[in-house]
Structure formats: C-alpha cells, structure tokens
Amino acid sequence: MEFMTTVSRIKKGVFLIGVFLSCAVMLGWADSWEDIRRESAKIKSVSAHFSQEKHLQILSRPIVSKGLFYFQTPDSVRWEYISPIRSVLLMQKGNIRRYTVGSRGLVEDKGGSLESMQIVLQEISRWSTGQFTANENFSASLKGGRGAQIILTPKENGLSSMISRIVITLSPDRPGVIKSVKITETEGNYTLFEFADVQINGKISESLFREVG
Amino acid sequence: MDQTVLPDIIKRCHQPFVDTPYRFIHAIEVTLPGGGSGTVVGVTVIDTASEMIHSVILTIEGFVLFDAQYGKEMRVNRAVPPFNAKDFAEHLMEDVRLILVTPQGRLSRAGVLEDGSTICRYHRDSKKIVDVIIHQDNSWEIGLYSNSYETIRRVNASSIKNSIPTLVKLTAFDAWDYSLLLSLIRAEPVSTEAIQLHPRESLDGE
C-alpha cells in the first residue's frame, strides 16, 4: 500500500510542523540560546489562533487556512484546522492521532506509524527545553535582537528534500510569543504561519488533548 | 429522436468541461481498498486550448508531495515517494483529463434517457468508450469503459454552483481500485498567456 507510506509521511510532516510551532511559541525574546532555554523553562501552556498561508508558484494568491493551537507541557499538543478543511491533530502522552472531516464525518486518518510517534516525542523533549543546537534533524542559528529570528536548516538529505529552511520570528514586544513561522520548501513555495491571541500559561482543559469534539 | 435537438444535446454534454483556462483548488479525500484513507489538497490549472495541465498535490499542512506539468510532454517538478512511482503522473493526468476535458474521439451516440438525462457516447480510441450523462438537475456523471463495457472509471459531479461542481467523486475500478472525493475550495479563471498567471476573477467570493 504505497499510499499508506505517503500518509505516514504526511503524518510525519504534521508532527514536525506541530513540534516546530509548539516549541516555537514557547520561545521568549532572546539574544542567546541561554536566553531561550531560560524563557522556555517558564512556559507551561500555550493557546493561540493561527493562520496558515500556502504560497505556490502555481497560485496567484495563497491558500489560507485558519485554526487553533494548544500546548501543555510536557508533551500535549492540539493542532486544529477550522477552515477550509477541518482537521485535528491530538498528541498526548506519546499517543498521536489525527482526524479529518470527510464524507464519513470526522474520521481518524489511517496509516500512522510508531516511528512517527517516536520522532515527535524526541523532538518535543529537545525543543521544549530549548535544545535547538543539539537537534539531530536541524542545524539552528539565532539572529538576536528585537524581532529575533531562529533559522533552522535540515541536516540530512531526506528532510531537506521536503524543507529547505524554517525561520521562526519572535514577537518584538512580547517575550515568550512568536510572530510567525515560515517553512520554505523551494524558491517561491513556502508556508507562513502567523499567530494571534496568544495566551501563555493559561488553564487548558486536559480533554482538549484527548477528545476531538 | 428529433434530430433538430441533437446540437442542443451535444452542447449540454459539453457542460462539465472547461473551455477556458481555469484553476481549481480541492480538498481530496482518498480512499483505498481495505479502508485506508487520507486527505490532501489538490491544485489544478488547466488550459484546454494549449492542452496544458499543471497539477500540485500537497498536505493540509502545506507540504508539496507532487508537482507536475503535462503539455507536449510530462514534466515532473517534484514527486515525494510514492508519488514518484512509475506511471503515477500519467494516471493522475488521465484522471484530470477525464474530469475536465471534453472526450477526444468520435461521438457515436447522443440522446435523452428515460429520466430526462442527456447522454453522449464517445469512442476515444479502439479500446476506450466515454459516456457523459447530464442529469436534469445539472449534476453529471462520466463513465470510462473498456470496449467490452467493463467500467474503468466513474465520475459523479454534484452540488453545482456557477456551473462548477463543488463535489466530484472519481472511482477507479481497475488494478488501482481507489476513490477520490474532491470538495471544491476555490475555482478561478486564469489568463491565457500563461498557466501560472493571475486570475481575472474569483468565483468563491473570497
């Protein structure tokens, strides 16, 4: 079932995106990696609205998706698309599920793999403690100052065939909050995530990470 | 049958097909034998005059899995495994053509069915037959058959809005045996100069 392999890759992509964003939102305004580690330690939960703009050379205007994002330490994530396609990724205690609205309603996507889960958990544990520089998948560089940026480039060819680089831009005014994440695949093809209404360390119901509805 | 209505029937049979350059964005629900399923986003730009099709498949999260252009020859710009499988691009373009391009070949029959639907039968070549059926509610179906009338593909289009179906289901009955449910996200005409140039207007009211 070749498509199952693809679904698995898609899921891996979803997981990585979720990991990037969950950990990126945790980042504080910073001039150094030490600042990042210090700020990361203060974050216990994050909730935010997000917009996703997909830019392609084939498009004259981007495909815009909107959704909600929740994160709770140590490893709970809800990454939910509201439009144009409703889809929910739930990750909690090492258990990862993805649901998408289709002709049969909200249905769990089939084809997940244990390998993908392991990747996520590894990434979460590293990034949530600000360990960008020790990441086996990405090399990280930091441009400090107001509106600091973290630039991630893949280390291995497999990942670089999907992503050429990721730029995480921090909020210039609000430590601990990011402004956007830009994931570039190839020239002219990129995805821009922008966050709004970011709440840090608010109370998030545990059921949000367990239940789709 | 009154032969004077034949031109109207044939014209109605052309209703599903685009005759100007267009860009379509769909959510595509893929279902495989055994219950496997997944959802991707498909972007298709088509210009029937120049016989150019540009197709991109991406994940909901935006990763491009497949990008290919079909014109005088196939050009695959990107294909993440298994979309790099032999013949995948050709099969994909065949499906796109079946849904969007007026069938090639000889129109052998045209008429009206008992339920009032309009039907046209095309002999695409010596091996393939295409039936186009337009129902009275303007929904339509397209059947691709072998010359022994075994079904190869079936397309059902419904929820027509501004002459464009918001739901299209393609079912494959051959060795691939899959189904695709396409839900329209956006449709917009594009200029004739180039397949990637700016749209003149949007139909989705965004």
Among the partner-chain residues A56, A57, A84, the one whose CB lies closest to the CB of B27 is A84
How far apart, in whole angstroms, are the C-alpha atoms of residue A68 and residue A66? 7
- Determine whether the interchain pair B38/A3 forms a contact, defined as Cβ–Cβ distance below 8 Å: yes
Asked whether B41 and B151 are in contact (CB, 8 A), the reply is: no
pLDDT in tens, B70-95: 988 899 998 887 788 778 899 999 99
What tokens does B28 get?
A: 């595509």
Residue whose entry in the numeric block shows the structure tokens 């540009």: B54
How far apart, in whole angstroms, are the C-alpha atoms of residue A158 and residue A161? 6
How far apart, in whole angstroms, are the C-alpha atoms of residue A177 and residue A16? 19
For chain B, say whether A1 makes contact (Cβ under 8 Å): yes
Cα angle for residues A100, A102, A103 (degrees, 5° grid): 160
pLDDT band of residue B15 (cuts 50, 70, 90) is very high
Which residues form the domain of B169? Answer: 3-185
Amino acid A193 reads F
Q: Based on DSSP, count helices (H) and strands (E) in chain A, helices before strands.
A: 4, 11
Residue by residue, pLDDT tens for chain A (213 residues) are: 444 454 455 555 555 555 555 555 555 456 787 887 777 778 888 899 999 999 998 999 999 999 999 988 887 888 899 999 999 988 887 777 888 888 888 888 765 433 443 454 445 445 545 566 667 778 889 888 777 888 988 887 777 777 888 888 887 777 767 788 898 988 888 999 999 999 989 999 999 998 887
B33 vs chain A: nearest CA distance in angstroms?
9
How many Cβ atoms sit within 10 Å of the Cβ of residue A157? 7
Structure confidence at residue A170 (pLDDT):
80
Domain total of chain A = 1
Structure confidence at residue B87 (pLDDT):
84
Task: Collect all residues of chain B within an 8 Å Cβ-Cβ radius of residue A157.
Answer: none
How far apart, in whole angstroms, are the C-alpha atoms of residue B174 and residue B150? 9
Q: What are phi and psi of A151, to 5 degrees?
A: -115, 125
A168 vs chain B: nearest CA distance in angstroms?
16
B186 vs chain A: nearest CA distance in angstroms?
9
What tokens does A157 get?
A: 């060819």
Domain total of chain B = 1
Query: B139 Cβ partners below 8 Å, 6+ apart?
Result: B156, B157, B158, B159, B160, B165
Task: Collect all residues of chain B within an 8 Å Cβ-Cβ radius of residue A14.
Answer: 59-61
Which residues form the domain of A173? Answer: 2-209
**Residue B53 lies inside a defined structural domain of this protein:** yes
Task: Collect all residues of chain B within an 8 Å Cβ-Cβ radius of residue A77.
Answer: none
- Determine whether the interchain pair A14/B29 forms a contact, defined as Cβ–Cβ distance below 8 Å: no
Report CA Rg, chain B. Answer: 17
**Residue B195 lies inside a defined structural domain of this protein:** no
pLDDT in tens, B131-183: 999 999 999 999 999 999 999 999 999 999 988 999 999 999 977 688 999 99
In terms of Cα–Cα distance, which of A183, A211, A12, A205 is closest to A111? A12
The ipTM (two decimal places) reads 0.85
Chain A's closest residue to B200, CA to CA, is: A60
For chain A, say whether B7 makes contact (Cβ under 8 Å): no
In terms of Cα–Cα distance, which of A151, A166, A175 is closest to A43? A175
For chain B, say whether A159 makes contact (Cβ under 8 Å): no
The verdict on pTM exceeding 0.80 is yes
How far apart, in whole angstroms, are the C-alpha atoms of residue B96 and residue B102? 11
Classified as helix, coil or strand, B165 is: strand
How far apart, in whole angstroms, are the C-alpha atoms of residue A76 and residue A206? 9
Which residues on adjacent β-strands are paired with residue B142? B132, B155
Average pLDDT of every residue of chain B: 87
**Residue B50 lies inside a defined structural domain of this protein:** yes
- Determine whether the interchain pair A60/B61 forms a contact, defined as Cβ–Cβ distance below 8 Å: no
Task: Collect all residues of chain B within an 8 Å Cβ-Cβ radius of residue A3.
Answer: 30, 32, 36, 38, 82, 178
- Determine whether the interchain pair A58/B83 forms a contact, defined as Cβ–Cβ distance below 8 Å: no
Q: What are phi and psi of B113, to 5 degrees?
A: -80, 170
Chain A's closest residue to B181, CA to CA, is: A103
Q: In the predicted model, is pLDDT for residue B203 greater than 50?
A: no
pLDDT in tens, B41-64: 999 999 988 889 999 999 888 888
- Determine whether the interchain pair A110/B38 forms a contact, defined as Cβ–Cβ distance below 8 Å: yes
What tokens does B190 get?
A: 């594009």
CATH number at residue A175: 2.50.20.10
**Residue B28 lies inside a defined structural domain of this protein:** yes
B11 vs chain A: nearest CA distance in angstroms?
31
For chain A, say whether B58 makes contact (Cβ under 8 Å): yes
pLDDT band of residue B3 (cuts 50, 70, 90) is confident
Which residues on adjacent β-strands are paired with residue A194? A51, A180
Cα B87 to Cα A22, B65, B91, B92: the distances in Å are 39, 16, 6, 9
How far apart, in whole angstroms, are the C-alpha atoms of residue B20 and residue A144? 50
- Determine whether the interchain pair A102/B60 forms a contact, defined as Cβ–Cβ distance below 8 Å: no
Which residues on adjacent β-strands are paired with residue B28? B40, B182
For chain B, say whether A59 makes contact (Cβ under 8 Å): yes
Helix-strand-coil split of chain A, %, nearest 5: 25, 40, 35
Task: Collect all residues of chain B within an 8 Å Cβ-Cβ radius of residue A63.
Answer: 25, 41, 43, 62, 185-186
pLDDT in tens, B96-117: 999 999 998 899 999 999 999 9
Beta strands (DSSP E) in chain B are 22-31, 37-47, 52-58, 64-70, 74-79, 106-112, 118-123, 128-134, 140-146, 151-161, 164-172, 179-189
Residue whose entry in the numeric block shows the structure tokens 């991707």: B40
3-state DSSP of B168-189:
EEEEECCCCCCEEEEEEEEEEE
Structure confidence at residue A103 (pLDDT):
83
Structure confidence at residue A176 (pLDDT):
67
CATH number at residue B42: 2.50.20.10
B196 vs chain A: nearest CA distance in angstroms?
5
A132 vs chain B: nearest CA distance in angstroms?
22
Structure confidence at residue B1 (pLDDT):
62
Amino acid B22 reads Y
For chain B, say whether A134 makes contact (Cβ under 8 Å): no
**Residue B45 lies inside a defined structural domain of this protein:** yes
Structure confidence at residue B160 (pLDDT):
93
Structure confidence at residue B68 (pLDDT):
94
The alpha carbon dihedral of A8, A10, A13, A18 has a sign of negative
